[in-house]
Chain A
């Protein structure tokens, strides 16, 4: 035991950590969602600091073009599972901690099992839909959400939801997905910026575990590494205003426009017997739509269950507001299916009018 603690002595010298804080770190259980430019250094620092259990979630493989910022991985790892390589490296870095790995994306099918028994969730993903799901999970289990995000030379960090404090969607709204911005793959990203933001995230996780507090609760921290301009914005009260883009009535997938169908165009589309309406809502969402030509596979289940879709069908995914249907359309087109359009149950009352459907 003493040998274990020797390695943490320099951080235990900090009066804010001390022996008791170190004990709390060693009992801590932290979920890290995403092992990219943020997740790699976060995992390294938390492992080195002796956080008792790290649960790493990422379904991707190591890619050469990400090595410049995913500094847990090297050339020989390209093509291997990120979480498996990470487990090996982190166990070598600190064999006294427990590393749990989940070789899957954080999605609607697994978020409950992954989040329910941890103390903190570290948001290191690169997708808005995953960030919304992390927000949802943290709300469900009353967990602090240590957020980090990057755009070119700029990074953001915050601790959402600490002891009932405002959460991600309270600040940015639920429509972040409709404001899809270019990804790191399209805009470029510098490794040290990811390291900087990851360091802030890891620092807040350690402080949360050791002391229960964070000065970034209620504050969005922003840094511009190009201009060396720091900024902080408080968010704890008041409704927050801004601009929300209009809900798109069509989306661009692989160079083609895929339209949101209105009641009338849906009726025309349905006259083609080869059309399959695909309900991508969760199984418990009401009202259920049970008629011929409708199949239900929730968005999160699509990658596992899409083979149930007959190959000769033209597909029209739908959900309540149309957003998940857009994502489903995107996934289906990329998987090689023919998608005629998508549909939002809420947008047209005509859906429930059987006459217009037949």
Chain B
């Protein structure tokens, strides 16, 4: 029996200076359902190479995530850098 692969949509949200690099504050992308956080990070790094020079954390649906977390059923992925201004 072959594994059934379905794609689904997630909203990627770029906070802080990541918005300046991506040129947008959010976008909807279609990803394979079996993807984990690390797969999406690779994809983002390829799409916006300058993001690789930036420190940020990943959150899925309101929780900071680890790289093994599954994206199945996830609606929003936020990329969150620390801010420095005061």
Question: Which A residues contact B (CB, under 8 angstroms)?
Answer: 34, 36-39, 123-128, 131, 148-152, 154-156, 171-173, 175-176, 178-184, 187, 189, 194, 220, 222, 224, 227, 231-235, 238-246
Contacts and interface: CB of A to CB of B under 8 A. Distances in A.
Given A37-B86, A126-B86, A181-B16, A245 B81 contact: no
Nearest to A34: B86
Contacts of B63: 233-235
Contacts of A34: 86
B80 A149 contact: no
Given A34-B86, A189-B85, A222 B55 contact: no
B10 to A, nearest CB: 16
Given A176-B82, A189-B85, A243-B45, A234 B53 contact: no
B78 to A, nearest CB: 7
Contacts of B79: 242
Best-buried of B59, B79, B83 by chain A (most CB within 10 Å): B83
A124 B25 CA distance: 26
A259 B7 CA distance: 46
Given A128-B82, A149-B85, A241 B65 contact: yes
Nearest to B58: A242
Interface string B50-86: 0111111111001111110000000000111111111
B57 A171 contact: yes
B62 A233 contact: yes
A148 B58 CA distance: 19
Given A149-B82, A241-B38, A246-B53, 13 more contacts: A123-B86, A150-B86, A151-B16, A156-B82, A156-B83, A179-B82, A187-B85, A189-B85, A220-B80, A222-B15, A238-B64, A240-B64, A242-B56
